[in-house]
Structure 1
Amino acid sequence: MSNTEQIAHVRALEDGSYETQPLLDHLHGVAEMAQSYAERITDYPELGEIGYLLGLLHDLGKYQAGFQRYIRQQSGLDPTLSGWRTPHSPAGARYAYDLTQVGGNQQLLKILSLCIGAHHRGLYDDSEWRGQVVEPRDTERAVADLVRGLQPEASQLEELLHKASLDKVATVWNELDEDDYQLLVRMLFSCLVDVDFLDTERFMSPDKSFARQNAKASLKEMRAQLEEYVSHFNREGRINEARAAFLDQCRSHGRTAKRKIYSLTLPTGAGKTVSSMMWALEHAIAKGCERIIYVIPYTSIITQTAQTFRDIFGADQVLEHHSDVDIKERPDEAMEYTKLMTENWDVPLIVTTNVQFFESLYAHRVSRCRKLHNICNSVVVFDEVQMFPPRLLNPILRVVESLHYAFRVEPLFCTATLPVFDEDILSDTNRIGHEFFFLEEPIQEVVPYDAKLFAPFDKVRYHWDPLRLSTEELAERLIEHESFLCIVNSRNDAARLYTALQAQEKSGEGLIHLSRRMCSAHIQERIEEIRRRLKAGEPVRVVSTQLVEAGVDLDFPVVYRAMAGLDSVMQAAGRCNREGRMAEPGEVYIFSLTDGTNALGEMSWAQGALEDLLDRLAQQGAPQREEIERYYKAFYNDVDCFDNKKDKEVSKRLWGEDNDRCEELRFDYETASEFFRYIEDQSTAIVVPYGKEGKAIVKKLQSNLPLTRQEYRQMNRLTVSLYEKDCLTLGSSISVSESGIAYLTNDKLYSSETGIQIIDQTLIFMGV
């Protein structure tokens, strides 16, 4: 290799020699792939020209002499050189911003500059981009240096540049809505960083690159697998007949549906998971979509859906992307493939969480943004949409609408209680200065309401007159039932009620506690125990927080639900007589604890909206569509956080209060990502000594021994998130390892029944 050759990467070989990747080869390879990716993110393949230029220019700063010396010295290729770190992204970004010879549209050139300047550090705030790229004299000198280094290959690069034309892209630009500009920059940025990683990986880590080529089923093959799976369904009986009818309707509708935003509002127990997948596959194939993404509220309810899909399509075809992926008994090779796929979502079926999905769409960091372009041209199923947090509804609905209209995303909202997302619910109020972003077009139903088909799912009697009971009185009432599910509103209420039930003489066996004071592994084991006891017909008495309300298939004869929102009560009712096997309807009671935790914020508003509706609800009857809509309108009119300070900051920095910000692409990506937090609470994750794995990990943390890769993965399922006041109460029973991981030191404070015991250590010391 000539010492004057411009190189992008250097790879050390096992025999002590080195292999280099010519810089022009890297630029050309990234350009070609980025073009193909950018062509698919919208209905305008002309945007591939921007992708091509992004790839061609992204590493142009590596032509600086200082960078070439640095890479040779640092890699060991030529250790005699005096190399120093030479940033290459700002120089390439400035070069692109001044590149008027390929178009002249300053907006498009700014997109090139924004993405190139950010492709290692993440998307900038506008002022930071100007301070790093446009204004510094150092950047001007770096551009002059790269131009000198470019001379041997300038003619080849110029020829490639002329292949791209931004003239036709400028026409497309005028077709796009200004509100979509900020997301377009993200998507193009995503195309660039993913391709840059892939081309670099192909040269630097060919084994890892090869591992990505795992066989992936086509959507048509997956449809055939699903048809085989449902062909064995039992269609006898009113409930199974209705489920089959819903499935048939979803199949037919998916094939013929136009590009709109749809909802699937089936009653609980109607087979929504499989029916929604049937619709998604049919619709994806009909519209030429590349993948299906299931977005689910919490990790605690994602496992069941993912397992259903694994049963249908096989484990290798389902990518779970969330913190609680269970690696137990899975070969490390399979986990390595899963890790690779979570980087860019280049698979046909992804199951992920609201946190991962929406925070990625508002993120600025490279690792979070890398997968975004693979959301485009997909069917996205949002499960249990009633659980979207009201304080984030504006940015959530705004980005869903943008994905649909500009980026070929086909959304499906799944729920038994569809919120009012497509009406200006605050228009008739006097809430001056408060805004609600509602969807522009009405949401269309996949399965319209049919009284005959829905009737078999009226399997419970609602007792709408709330009981007012103390914890002791509630325990005395509950213990009269051989099996029950009682859902309360807080961890403290669950612990207190569980203790009160234990004290009852007739408490018997099968008493189980569920709350987020238990780690995910513990919760999952308890849920499996509940299912086993229910299937065997054994007594099972469950006290739980709302973590079992959605997405967990349980079937109790009676359910008690602490006063909450109408959606929560109906979700709880979905755990009652779920399969309709009882001769009489199941019983659902709502109650208020006179000595319970006071509701605050959203819970308080939800309770108030339901209380206002109680007189309108038919005694013992299930709420109808009109009553559900009335509830949400009342709830949203009480909610005081649609336009909270953080939400306003996100909107201001990505869309602005005038048209100039969008038109001039003055976006503050980094600041907006800091304000958009799906989970707002300031909790601390504590590793707990649950089971053999938990005890072993805590022991290693105490000894400051390094954890293995498998232990790090296990650790996600062995943590409990505690509020600051609880951490302070536990005091010295919580320690932090040298690597910054908090853990519970006293294993006696983790109960096999109820999880972490929040006990004031001062009182124990005083003998109280």
Structure 2
Amino acid sequence: MLLSHPNYPLKDHLTNTMKRALKKYVPPKLKYFNEKLVKGTLKIIALTHDFGKATSYFQRYIRGEKVKSSLKRHSAISFLLTNWVIRETIENNYYQLFSLCVKNHHSFLSNPIHDFNIDKEILEKQFNELNIDFINKVLDENKFPVIKCDFDDLWDSFRELEDVYDEIEYEENNLKYEFYFLYIYLFSLLISSDKEDVIFRGKFLSSNLNVPDSIECYIKTFLKKNKIDYLRTKMFFEVAKRVDELNLNHKIYSLNAPTGMGKTLTVFNFALKLANRIKKEKKTDMRIIYCLPFLSIIDQNYEVLKKALSYILKNLDSDMLLKHHHLSEIYYKVDEEVLDEDKALHLIETWNSKIIVTTFMQLFYSIFSNKNKNLKKFQSLSNSIIILDEIQAIPYKYWFAINKVFSFLAEEYNIYFVLCTATLPMIFKNNIEILKNKEEYFKEMNRIKMRIHKNEMNLKEFIDLVSEDIQKNPHKDFLIVLNTIRSSKEVYQSLKEMGLDGDFYYLSTNIYPKERLRRIKKINKNKNRKIIVSTQLIEAGVDISVDIVYRDIAPLDCLNQTAGRCNRHNEGKKGIVNIVKLIDDNGKRFSSYIYENHLITKTEELLNDYEIIEEKEFLRLNNLYFKKLSIYKDKSKEILKTIENFRYEDVENKFKLIENIPSLDLFVCVEDEAKRIWKKYEEIKEIKDVFKRRKEFLKIKKDFYDYVISVPEYALKGKEIPLENLDKIDEKYYDRETGFRVIEDKTIIL
């Protein structure tokens, strides 16, 4: 008996992988390729992807014998066989290029031109050691042409692919887009099904779950204490009613409403009702993918949705609601069974759930990437409603590319996009607003006024200004948001040393995550006067409310997000948001260390005409600001050119949601629980079996990273500090109040 994996018959693995891939497959709405031929191609790819394991070399290896590495490999010889079967089955030779899914199913995608350089001599040796009878029996049972050729014929059919690729390179761009993402789609179906079969063996996953009709009965339990509560409820039900009015052929929507209006539950309910209408009218089951830009608010929003769904559903398992980010707990429960780490990790990373709460990073890099790990969830995007909350966090330079790519995916892969924000960027020109009278809500929510300080000031002048204001307003809560860790620490320490009345809190990514969350909870529970100094991490989604804010100059959308932490619940007298322009000892603005200069320039062009701006003016100013930014398309055009040229290996370098700053991850060991986890980590490092070591680390990964901070390498430059990545630090390098001790001026941890 031929094996694919220890104790697993090769034939079972091939046929089960094919069945899994076909079960996952959702027919795209294609313009240039034929859907039936695509499905047939997928069937061939999945069935033949491990034909190369039918060599005597691999079979000896899987049974524990030593075999030369180049001879036991199976992807390249499997690819040649797959290509031949597609060529004999489908007349259109463009479909042969999809056989490259097989060649790369244990690696990553790249420009097909790179895949044509393979070792003929090795492949011929492998071909001569193939169990052709086994292969032909599998093909014949599935009604595909059997292999009757010799190796030279097989090689010649492979060499034809270069000519096929030359032809497709000269096709129109729309066909290229279709090929580009169809290749990713088939690759995603193959690798997710292959991995799933290896992990679950003969067990097939089944779920007949439907998302709830709505969460309206849950919303009706909320008490309405003030005007803003009534406005939130009014908006919730107005948006809910909109679902019945929509033309389902339109795929891109937006919810543009003021901060603090309860957009999370409103847009989620909209998605539930939309999914149910699509199910009823189009007989299509939809998945809901709720995406957020920051890890700091993922857990918060997940708990909000979990609470709402738990009110409605008797059982809430992981196949209904799932959280996924790179630090999320590896936990998956279904039908009272908690799955082991390998099974759980696979189901989480392939988004095997009806409702997923995840990050922008996870979503965008399932599209703009070539990596196996990222692309295996691309197949889960078909038939989905994707909520992009805090959409303004997407860098403006990618708007044009996102417009083009998302519009294409919406039509061909049946994806509905819902953009959700208080500051709506002009990414799409054809998005339909689901809050019809949004202007009225912005006028009603006139909770704050923004005061523009025209002149630049240094930190000493700023500290004098803020301390005077704090003393003049002894019962007011203050939030001071600064652009760099260095400036935030200096302001915090100076104000605290003055003996000002109030409870002081410091927040930045210099503080390990568990302690940051602890401080935010304390802020919300504390009824005393509070003085909070923070970096930009406070901006979006952190649900705190103060009376007076000071914010160092930043792009307008960032200023608006910070303003959302002021008088958030309309508690009484208008809040005040002071915008200042801070400079360092060299006269350089702190904002220049963080933001591109023209973003600040465009912001100041709008703000310079004002001394005071009412909140009701924000909508108009935001629209003007985003209009100024929409002309920048150069970076987007580079990304689109990369797609048109099939340069899969370059796309992730072109599309960067976060600029990578070389940094060290350091484990902060200043509390007992951290010491316990570090001890466990050191025990795990001693495990010699790499797979067992990885499995054991997954058990503590979430708790481990609760104590990890990232410090830019240049913060350590010139310092005699013997630290390496994932080293442990204690009070020598970590201050319990303000975090990591050695920080350079340019530290810009966001």
By the TM > 0.5 criterion, same fold? yes
Match of 2:419 among 395, 413, 434: 413
Is the aligned partner of 1:320 residue 2:323?
yes
**Shift of residue 726, structure 1, vs aligned partner:** 1.0
- Give 1:749's aligned residue: 733
Give the secondary structure class of the aligned counterpart of 1:361: coil
Alignment of 1:455 onto 2:461? no
SS in 2 for 1:524: helix
Aligned to 1:431: none
CA shift in 2, pair 1:151/1:332, >3 Å? closer
Give yes or no for the alignment of 1:30 onto 2:12: no
- What pairs with 1:587-666 in structure 2 (closer than 5 Å)? 587-595=576-584, 597-600=590-593, 602-616=595-609, 619-622=612-615, 623-637=617-631, 642-644=633-635, 650-656=639-645
| 1:199 aligned partner | 197
| SS state at 2:142 partner | helix
Report what 2:152 is aligned to.
Answer: none
CA gap of 1:451–1:123, structure 2 versus 1, over 3 A, is closer
Matched, 1:399 2:405: yes
Q: Secondary structure at the match of 1:442?
A: coil
Tell me which amino acid in the other structure corresponds to 1:201.
I
Q: CA deviation at 1:636?
A: 4.9
2:136 to 146, 150, 154: 154
Encode CA deviations 1:499-556: one digit per residue, 9 max, x unaligned: 11112132x34111111111211211111111111xxx31111011111111111111
| Shift of residue 476, structure 1, vs aligned partner | 3.4
Aligned partner letter, 2:326: S
Deviation of the 1:580 alpha carbon = 0.9
Deviation at 1:581, TM superposition (A): 1.6
Q: 1:227 maps to which residue?
A: 216
Pairing partner for 1:92 from 69, 78, 100: 78
Find the counterpart in structure 2 of residue 265 from structure 1.
256
Rounded Cα–Cα distance in structure 2 between residues aligned with 1:152 and 1:412:
50
Residues 1:715 and 2:704 are matched in the alignment: yes
Establish whether residue 444 from structure 1 lines up as the match of residue 432 from structure 2: yes
State the distance in 1 between where 2:45 and 2:547 align: 61
* 1-structure distance, mates of 2:339, 2:597: 45
Q: Which residue of structure 1 lines up, in the alignment, with residue 742 of structure 2?
A: 758
Asked whether the 8 Å contact 2:390–2:421 carries over to 1, the reply is yes
Distance 1:744 1:28, change over 3 A: closer
Q: 1:276 aligns with which of 248, 267, 273?
A: 267
Letter of the 1:689 counterpart: C
Provide closer, same or farther for how the CA distance between residues 45 and 38 of structure 1 changes in structure 2, counting only shifts above 3 A.
Answer: farther
Report the AA paired with residue 84 of structure 2: D
**Structure 1 residues 326 and 500: CA distance shift in structure 2, 3 A:** farther
Q: Deviations over 1:659-681 (max 9, x none)?
A: xxxxxxxx232343355443222
CA distance in 2, matches of 1:450, 1:325: 35
Q: How many residues were matched structurally?
A: 676
| Partner residue in 1 for 2:159 | none
CA pair 256-93 structure 1, distance change in 2 beyond 3 A: farther
**Match 1:679 to one of 654, 658, 662:** 658
Q: Secondary structure at the match of 2:358?
A: strand
The answer to whether the aligner puts 1:306 opposite 2:302 as a matched pair is: yes
Q: Which amino acid aligns with 1:470?
A: N
- TM-score w.r.t. the length of structure 1 is 0.81
Q: Which moved more, 1:62-71 or 1:701-710?
A: 701-710
Q: Does 1:126 align with 2:112?
A: yes
Give 1:550's aligned residue: 540
Query: Which residue of 656, 661, 670 corresponds with 2:649?
Result: 670
Q: For residues 295 and 690 of structure 1, what CA distance do their matches in structure 2 show?
A: 33
Q: Which amino acid aligns with 1:32?
A: K
User: Is 2:100 aligned against 1:104?
Assistant: no
Q: Note the C-alpha offset of 1:235.
A: 4.5
Q: How far does the alpha carbon of each residue in 1:628-666 deviate from its partner, in whole angstroms, 9 at most, with x for none?
A: 2221233455x6xx535xx6664443213xxxxxxxxxx
2:580, 2:518 → 1: CA distance?
Answer: 28
Structure 2 CA distance for partners of 1:36 and 1:680, relative to 1, 3 Å: same
2:237 is aligned with 1:248: yes
Tell me by how many angstroms 1:611 deviates. Answer: 0.9
Q: What SS does the corresponding residue of 2:602 show, helix, strand or coil? A: helix
**Residues 344 and 374, structure 1, Cα contact 8 Å, conserved in 2:** yes
Structure-1 separation of matches of 2:231 and 2:373? 44
Q: Distance in 2 between matches of 1:717 and 1:131?
A: 45
Distance apart, 1:684 and its partner CA: 2.4
Deviates more, 1:513-522 or 1:400-409: 400-409
The 8 Å contact of residues 359 and 677 in structure 1, kept in 2 or not, is answered as no
Amino acid at match of 2:551: R
1:563 aligns with 2:563: no
CA distance in 1, matches of 2:681, 2:376: 32
What secondary structure, in the 3-state scheme, does the structure 2 residue paired with 1:714 have? Answer: helix
Alpha-carbon distance change, 742 to 610 in structure 1, aligned in 2, over 3 angstroms: same
Q: SS of 1:128's equivalent?
A: helix
Instruction: Give the letter aligned to residue 189 of structure 2.
Output: C
- Residue type of the alignment partner of 1:275: T
Q: How far apart, in 2, do the equivalents of 1:755 and 1:335 lie?
A: 36
1:515 maps to which residue? 508
The separation in 1 between residues aligned to 2:39 and 2:307, in whole angstroms, is 38
5+ residue gaps, structure 2: 147-170, 279-283, 311-315, 688-692, 745-750
- TM-score for both structures, normalised by structure 2: 0.83
Q: 1:342 and 2:348 equivalent?
A: yes
Question: What is the aligned counterpart of 1:49 among 29, 32, 40?
Answer: 40
User: Residues of 2 paired with 1:91 and 1:130: CA distance?
Assistant: 13
Q: Is 1:319–1:341's contact at 8 Å kept on the other side of the alignment? A: no
* SS state at 2:550 partner: strand
Matched residue type, 1:456: E
The question of 1:68 aligning with 2:62 is answered: no
- Which of 479, 482, 485 is equivalent to 1:488? 482
**For the aligned residues, what is the CA RMSD?**
3.2
Deviation per residue, 1:168-227 (Å, 9 max, x gap): xxxxx9997432321111111111111112222232xx7xx68x77x78521xx335x23
| Distance change >3 Å, CA 163–CA 377, structure 1 → 2 | farther
Alpha carbons 1:476, 1:504 under 8 Å: kept? no
Structure 1 residues 45 and 251, CA gap change in structure 2 (3 angstroms): farther
1:501 to 495, 498, 501: 495
- Distance in 2 (alpha carbons) for counterparts of 1:82 and 1:631: 62
Match of 1:471 among 450, 455, 459: 459
Any conservation in 1 of the 2:258–2:441 contact (CA below 8 Å)? no
Given that 1:176 and 1:406 are in contact with CA atoms closer than 8 Å, whether structure 2 keeps it comes out as no
Task: Confirm or deny: 8 A CA contact 2:177 2:644 kept in the other structure.
Answer: yes
Deviation of the 1:392 alpha carbon: 3.8
8 Å contact kept, 2:322–2:355: yes
Map of 2:210 onto structure 1:
218
Deviations 1:671-707 (A, max 9, x none): 4335544322222222222432333445677897668
703-712 or 317-326: bigger deviation? 703-712
Secondary structure at the aligned position of 2:480 is classed as strand
Structure 1 residues 733 and 542: alpha-carbon distance in aligned structure 2, compared to 1, 3 A threshold: farther
Q: Does the aligned pair in 2 maintain the 1:467–1:590 contact within 8 Å?
A: no
The one-letter code of the counterpart of 1:150 is: I
Percent identity, aligned pairs only, is 25
**TM-fit CA distance, 1:333:** 4.0
> Unaligned regions of 5+ residues in structure 1, if any?
12-19, 165-172, 423-440, 657-666, 761-768
The question of 1:368 aligning with 2:374 is answered yes
C-alpha separation in 2, matches of 1:163 and 1:91 = 17
Residues 176 and 296 of structure 1, relative CA distance in 2, 3 Å threshold: same
Q: Quote how far apart the aligned CAs of 1:313 are.
A: 2.0
Report the AA paired with residue 514 of structure 1: L
In 2: Cα distance, 1:69 partner to 1:702 partner: 36
Name the CA distance, whole Å, in 2 between partners of 1:83 and 1:698.
37
